[in-house]
Amino acid sequence: MKSQVAIDGPVASGKTVVGRAVSQDLKWKFLDTGVMYRAATRIVLDLGLSLNNNPRIIDALKRTTIELDDSADSEKILINGSDKTDTLRTPEIDRTVSIISKIPAVRKELVNQQRAIANRGPIVMVGRDIGSVVLPNAAVRLYLDARVEVRAQRRYREQSSFKTKMSLEQIKMDLEQRDRIDRERDDSPLEIHDFYTVLDTSSMALTEVVTMITDICKDNF
């Protein structure tokens, strides 16, 4: 689809900040699909459900609405109509989201919702399997990567507003574990496919990455 840009890659590779900036340049809608999986994780944690009880998790998600606020320039995530955006980036959710997101029925439900959002108009969407599964016909399919040490530093700096903070080494170990879960899951594992344009952002400034992607988009639209 000419009105779709898919950006995939591991956690803290810069997908969200880059995707947001590209969407602003294009004046398109932006969706970080990882936030939807964080919302699902928030629901599970708030209900105190066992992470091994897939039937109860799936039942809880079917009885709960997760929506993207459609207001102009809004990225708010609503759970049962309430804005829960500020509760979705905590160390507890960081540690748990990969476990929830590897459940096939969870992914199926959220992928359907993501495609419905994309059908509403031009969009830049970021995640782990956007180009491979969610929007396989997107005009531009990118894979952003970075060394785990660089990604750990980025995530460490994001902790300024957290009440509970993790050490740099803890974050690095957590990222390595999440990478392993994402790459080894049976349903839509994180992979670098031949159709991706791969960008290593380890030593690139944000403006460099955004300019490069915007140029790629101009060549394809």
DSSP codes of every residue in 202-216: TT--HHHHHHHHHHH
Alpha-carbon span 192 to 213, nearest angstrom: 17
pTM: 0.84
pLDDT per residue of the chain (221 residues) written in tens, 0 to 9: 679 999 999 988 999 999 999 999 999 989 999 899 999 999 999 999 999 999 999 999 989 988 877 666 677 888 999 999 989 988 899 889 989 988 998 999 899 889 988 998 899 999 999 999 999 999 999 999 999 999 999 888 887 666 667 899 999 999 999 899 889 888 888 899 999 999 999 999 999 999 999 999 888 87
The yes/no answer on whether domain 4-220 falls in CATH 3.40.50.300 is yes
Question: Can you give the pLDDT at residue 117?
Answer: 85
Residues 6 or more apart whose CB falls under 8 angstroms from that of 176 comprise 148
- Residue from 139, 136, 146 nearest 16 by CA: 146
DSSP E strands, the chain: 4-8, 29-32, 66-68, 77-79, 82-83, 123-127, 140-145, 197-200
Write down the domain spans for the chain: 4-220
CA distance readout (Å), 98 to 60, 75, 174:
18, 21, 11
Cβ-contact 214, 22 below 8 angstroms: yes
